[in-house]
Amino acid sequence: MITNYLKKYFENKSISQYEIEKKTGISQSKISLVLNNKRKLTADELVKIAIVFDLDLNKLKEIKIASQQ
């Protein structure tokens, strides 16, 4: 799942929810809900995160496709 990928990515890079909020404008409470699988990211939020943190959108697409199979 994309959420698990993001959670591991942020943990490995020691990126806090506060830092994600500051760089993306997505509230820390929304980030927390997403990373705890209680809320889904919108497409706009995912793209924002991908751009700010230079994530590979093709990799995210592959994860999404794999989770649907």
pTM for the whole thing? 0.86
Residue 61 domain boundaries: 2-68
Domain count, the chain: 1
Residue with tokens 């820390």: 28
For 12, phi and psi rounded to 5 degrees?
-65, -35
Q: Which of 63, 53, 66, 51 is CA-nearest to residue 4? A: 63
Q: Which of 9, 12, 41 is CA-nearest to residue 27? A: 41
> Which pLDDT does position 1 carry in this prediction?
84
Q: Say which CATH number the domain at 24 has.
A: 1.10.260.40
Residues 49, 19 contacting (CB under 8 angstroms): no
> Which pLDDT does position 69 carry in this prediction?
78
For the stretch 15-56, pLDDT in tens is 999 999 999 999 999 999 999 999 999 999 999 999 999 999
